[in-house]
Structure 1
Amino acid sequence: MLSRIFTAVIASSLLLAGCAGKREIEGSSSLRTSFVPSPSLSKPKDADDPVPLSPAAWMHPGNPASFAGRTVTVTPGQPIKLRAKEVALTFDDGPVPGKTERILASLDQYHVKATFLMVGQMAATYPKIARDVAERGHTIGTHTFDHKNLAAIGFDAAMADIARGEKAVAKATGETPGIFRFPYLADSRRLRGAIVAKGAAIVDVDVDSKDYFRSSPAEVAARTLAALRKHNGGIILMHDIHARTATMLPALLAQMKAEGYKIVTLKPVHGSTRTEPLLVASAD
């Protein structure tokens, strides 16, 4: 009971704070998102507002042949090199009942894979969902144990939180995670160096969906597409703890497919075959 109460508190804080924050953090040079929502996108709407699609998106709802892209190897200390129109889908903070499952269903519909950066406490509380993510072939990553700002708690405490989160996610999913992202993108040069030295890979962000804002699903989709078009692809940050994200994802995927994007699969260089403890995953 105490564990579930603690998890609820974490989930509430994630819903309020979001994961990426509102500023670039030292060392997070690959966070290049500069799209600013227009005033018309600032008014919250109902979480189930329909997301408008172009006619082309409606005409091609689910043919997987032209949408799923290649597998991209993620090597510690090396940049993730995506080609023009290639997209990597990433989801932070889960798993969460009622939302993660909806996101998985949408990904299955379009026959594409994503990377799930799980919070250890959430994976420990909902291990069946966490394992389902892994069994469906998605890439498993970690996001600390309880979503602390690692840049603010000291080096030793930060590394301990990373290791604890990795252990919880590994136990829940049955896989040794190979990808890591900093909560709030709050890193430091020392932490990044230590993570790479451990043989791990750190995945940063090119396109921030800002789905942690109190926006409607349609607004989240429009904001994400605008940033995606500007960058002509990239790593998209989303969260599988928000109903608005689960609601808008089918439309976002349909529109991306209609515009010729390819969804790539990120895989750490050692994958789940590592025998030594892995603390993180990197892409810069």
Structure 2
Amino acid sequence: MSVRVLCAAAALACLLSSCANRSQTENGTLVTSFAPAKALSSPKKANADDPVALTPAAWGRFNNPKGLAGRTMDVSSISDIRLRDKEVVLTFDDGPMPKKTEKILATLDEYGVKATFLMVGEMAKAHPEVAREVVDAGHTIGSHTYRHADLAHLSFDAAIAEIEKGRNAVSSVTRDDADFFRFPYLADSRKLRQWVGAHGMVVMDVQIDSKDYFGVSPAAVATRTMNALRAQRKGIILLHDIHNRTAAMLPALLTQLRAEGYKVVQLRYGGHAPMLTASLDRTSHD
């Protein structure tokens, strides 16, 4: 058994056994850290004296290398993203970032799942070889403006210019269409959303925010994400491929998703070039 699998098994045992300890507060939100847990080498019958034991069904999901990959969904607008119970979409913002993005790609490949990477234009231009690795690995790409600008503080024309510049930069570097888009800080408006949709991009919203941008442990990120997901039971998960903690916690998160029977859905753009209307051009008004 590889070191990666042993580590993932240990993290899984910890998550399943509720061995997380209350540790610190972050903006009033309690986060957790993990107590040590032993790695599992075979399924065992769960009992009161052995809280980290996996049931046979859970072990089967954990030990199945193809147990996490779900379907591929063709979408042309956000309304087409209709997830079933226990289906998730993995999304990574703000990259690409050398070493961190490659580590995340390696983990996703090991678990046989695909994600959507919403790249910042200037990051893609700064690290074109990493951006192309994402596409070569079969993942879906999109843009996240050119410089991660807060569009809520820009004029409409300036916001559109920032969106277009970011999309063009990502597309030119990756030699692929950046058909998905996420607003930085999720700061959008009805008019901007209409413009993005009318120009052949799918707006990516968020149902599960990992909040991996807080300076907490990888275990705390995994715990918070799974707790939020258990409440929602499905959704688009927001992560960032610029943080070491995200790359470090991803094996444990994917292991836990698989153990609980979730499927990772890959999004693929299936739309056509839109017919633009005068009501949605830059001179339109709310």
Q: Do the two structures share a fold, i.e. TM-score over 0.5?
A: yes
| Unaligned segments of structure 1, at least 5 residues | 1-37, 44-48, 277-284
Task: Please state if 1:126 is matched with 2:109.
Answer: no
Residue 201 of structure 1 deviates from its aligned partner by: 0.9
Change (3 A) 1:274 1:123: farther
Alignment match of 2:25 (pick from 37, 42, 45):
42
Equivalent residue letter for 1:208 = D
CA distance in 1, matches of 2:204, 2:198: 15
1:73 is aligned to 74
Bigger fraction of residues in strand? 2
Q: Deviations over 1:254-273 (max 9, x none)?
A: 01000000000011114xx9
Q: Deviations over 1:53-90 (max 9, x none)?
A: 96547775563332100011222252410000001000
CA distance in 2, matches of 1:64, 1:275: 40
Please say if residues 61 and 67 of structure 2, whose CA atoms lie closer than 8 Å, have aligned partners that are also in contact.
no
Change (3 A) 1:178 1:248: same
CA distance in 2, matches of 1:151, 1:51: 44
Q: Deviations over 1:151-205 (max 9, x none)?
A: 1111101111111111110111110111000000000111011111212210100
1:216 is aligned to 217
1:174 is aligned to 175
Task: Please state if 1:144 is matched with 2:129.
Answer: no
2:154 is aligned to 153
The structure that has the greater radius of gyration is 2
Structure having greater relative contact order (Cα 8 Å, sep ≥ 6): 1
Count of equivalent residues: 233
Residue aligned with 1:192, SS: helix
Equivalent residue letter for 1:128 = E
Please say if residues 58 and 254 of structure 1, whose CA atoms lie closer than 8 Å, have aligned partners that are also in contact.
no
Identity %: 54
Q: Deviations over 1:185-242 (max 9, x none)?
A: 0001110111112122101000000000111000000000000100001100000000
Residue aligned with 1:184, SS: helix
Task: Please state if 1:88 is matched with 2:92.
Answer: no
2:115 is aligned to 114
Range moving further from structure 2, 65-74 or 179-188? 65-74
Change (3 A) 1:127 1:61: farther
1:207 is aligned to 208
Change (3 A) 1:55 1:67: farther
2:263 is aligned to 262
- TM-score when scaled to structure 2? 0.75
Residue aligned with 2:148, SS: coil
Please say if residues 50 and 217 of structure 1, whose CA atoms lie closer than 8 Å, have aligned partners that are also in contact.
no
Q: How do residues 187-266 of structure 1 correspond to structure 2 at under 5 angstroms?
A: 187-266=188-267
Q: Deviations over 1:100-132 (max 9, x none)?
A: 011001000000000000000000000000000
| Unaligned segments of structure 2, at least 5 residues | 1-20, 27-33, 40-51, 276-286
Residue 40 of structure 1 deviates from its aligned partner by: 2.9
Residue 136 of structure 1 deviates from its aligned partner by: 0.4
Please say if residues 68 and 264 of structure 1, whose CA atoms lie closer than 8 Å, have aligned partners that are also in contact.
yes
CA distance in 2, matches of 1:109, 1:274: 35
Please say if residues 62 and 110 of structure 1, whose CA atoms lie closer than 8 Å, have aligned partners that are also in contact.
no
